[in-house]
């Protein structure tokens, strides 16, 4: 290192993961050293989140189906849909000459 190089001091920050104050070694550092090491891959087994599925699957599926019905309003009526589309397309296209 040359003598003209000055090491910049960074202001203390709050770690985005644990919320503790730390002094970063560079300006864009967002995690403290402990959290960065834990999240780097070597310690992932300690930090994995376990998910426990629903105990009553039938009830869970009924609840999801009800939520989806409430959220998405289906405006297409399936009975006779193809015929209505054909009639609409023919009305838009007009009459086509089929004779030579």
Position 40 in a domain: yes
Where in the sequence is the domain holding 83, given as residue range(s)?
57-91
Query: Is 42 part of any domain?
Result: yes
Q: What is the largest CA-CA distance in the chain?
A: 94
Report the 10 Å Cβ neighbour count for 35: 19
Please report which confidence band the pLDDT of residue 1 belongs to, taking 50, 70 and 90 as the band edges: very low
Give which of 13, 34, 30 is closest to 22, Cα–Cα. 13
Residue 35 lies in a domain: yes
d(CA 43, CA 31): 15
18 and 39 inside one domain: yes
Residue 96 lies in a domain: no
Section 57-65 average pLDDT: 90
Q: Work out the pLDDT band at 21, boundaries 50, 70, 90.
A: very high
Residue 34 inside a domain? The answer is yes
Given a cut of 80, whether residue 70 has pLDDT beyond it is no
What is the pLDDT, as a whole number, of residue 36?
A: 84
Residue 99 within any structural domain of the chain: no
Do residues 86 and 65 both lie within one domain? yes
């Amino acid at each position: 290192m040359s003598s003209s190089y000055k090491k910049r001091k960074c202001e203390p920050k709050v770690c985005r993961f644990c919320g503790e104050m730390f002094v970063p070694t560079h300006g864009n550092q967002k995690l403290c050293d402990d959290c960065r090491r834990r999240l780097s891959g070597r310690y992932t087994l300690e930090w994995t989140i376990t998910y426990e599925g629903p105990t009553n699957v039938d009830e869970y599926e009924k609840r999801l189906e009800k939520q989806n019905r409430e959220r998405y309003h289906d405006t297409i009526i399936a009975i006779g849909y193809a015929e209505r589309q054909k009639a609409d397309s023919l009305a838009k296209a007009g009459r086509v000459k089929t004779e030579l």
